[in-house]
A and B are shown apart, each in its own frame.
Chain A
Amino acid sequence: MSAATVAPGVPGRRAVRVGPVSAVWRPRAVLVPAVLAVVALLLAAVDVGRGDYPIGVLDVLRIVLGGGGQADRFVVVELRLPRALTALLVGAALGMSGAILQSVARNPLASPDLLGITAGASVGAVALIVLGGGVLGGALALVGLPLAALLGGLLTATAMYLLAWRRGVDGFRLVLVGIALAALLTSSTSYLLIVADITQAAQATVWLTGSLNGRGWEHVVPVLLAVGGSALLALTGGATLSALRLGEDSARALGVRLQAGQAALLAIAVLLASVAVAAAGPLAFVALIAPQVALRLVRSAGPPVFAGGLVGAVLVVGGDVVARTVLPVELPVGIVTAAVGAPYLLSLLARRTRRLDA
Chain B
Amino acid sequence: MTRTAAADAPAGRVPQRTARPARRRVRLLVGLLGLLVLAVVVGVLGIAVGARSIAPVDVWTALVAPTGTDDDVVVRALRLPRTALGLAVGAALGLAGALIQGHTRNPLADPGLLGVSAGAAFAVCLAVYAFGVSSVTGSVWFALAGALLASVVVFLLGTSGGGGSPVTLALAGAAVTAFLTALTSGLVLLDSVTLDAYRFWVVGSLVGRGDDVLAQVAPFLLVGLLLALVNAPALDTLQMGEDVARGLGQRIGPARLTGVAAITLLTGAAVAVTGPIAFVGLVVPHVARAITGPAHRWLLPYSGLLGAVLLVGADVVGRVLVRPAELPVGLVLAVVGAPFFIALVRRRRLVSL
Contact = CB atoms under 8 A, between A and B. Distances in A.
B11 to A, nearest CB: 21
A163 B338 CA distance: 12
B341 A180 contact: yes
B161 A350 contact: yes
Contacts of A351: 161
Contact of A191 (B157, B175, B188, B203): B203
A172 B350 contact: yes
Contact of A350 (B160, B165, B183, B341): B160
A163 B107 CA distance: 18
A206 interface: yes
Interface residues of B, number: 56
B172 A176 contact: no
Interface centre among A110, A187, A284 (most CB of B within 10 A): A187
Interface stretch (A35-43, A85-93, A134-142, A194-202): A194-202
Interface centre among B108, B195, B200, B330 (most CB of A within 10 A): B108
A242 interface: no
A351 B160 CA distance: 8
Contacts of B170: 108-109
B55 interface: no
B167 A108 contact: yes
A190 B331 contact: yes
A175 B101 CA distance: 14
Interface in A336-358: 336-339, 341-343, 345-346, 349-353, 355-358
Interface in B116-172: 157-158, 160-162, 165, 167-168, 170-172
Given A346-B175, A350-B160, A176 B107 contact: yes
A235 to B, nearest CB: 27
A194 B202 CA distance: 10
Contacts of B109: 109
Interface centre among B176, B181, B350 (most CB of A within 10 A): B181
Interface string B169-191: 01110111011011101101110
Given A177-B342, A345-B175, A109 B106 contact: yes
A124 interface: no
Interface string B331-353: 10111011101100110001010
Contacts of A205: 185, 188-189, 195
B279 interface: yes
Contacts of A206: 189
Interface in B257-278: 278
A: interface residue count bin = 35 or more
B309 to A, nearest CB: 18
Interface stretch (A49-57, A58-66, A71-79, A285-293): A285-293
A349 B168 contact: yes
Contacts of B158: 349
Contacts of B341: 176, 180
Interface string A197-227: 0100110011001000000000000000000
Contact of B108 (A163, A179, A285, A329): A179
A335 interface: yes
Contacts of A173: 345-346, 350
Interface string B276-288: 0011001100100
B196 interface: yes
A17 interface: no
Interface centre among A206, A284, A350 (most CB of B within 10 A): A350
A248 B89 CA distance: 38
Given A205-B189, A342-B178, A342-B179, A349 B107 contact: no
Given A107-B108, A332-B185, A352-B161, 10 more contacts: A109-B171, A176-B345, A187-B330, A194-B199, A284-B182, A341-B178, A346-B175, A349-B171, A352-B168, A357-B165
Interface of B: 106-109, 113, 157-158, 160-162, 165, 167-168, 170-172, 174-176, 178-179, 181-183, 185-186, 188-190, 192, 195-196, 199-200, 202-203, 278-279, 282-283, 286, 328, 330-331, 333-335, 337-339, 341-342, 345-346, 350, 352
Interface of A: 107-110, 114, 163-164, 166, 172-173, 175-177, 179-181, 183-184, 186-188, 190-191, 193-194, 198, 201-202, 205-206, 209, 284-285, 288-289, 292, 329, 331-332, 334-339, 341-343, 345-346, 349-353, 355-358
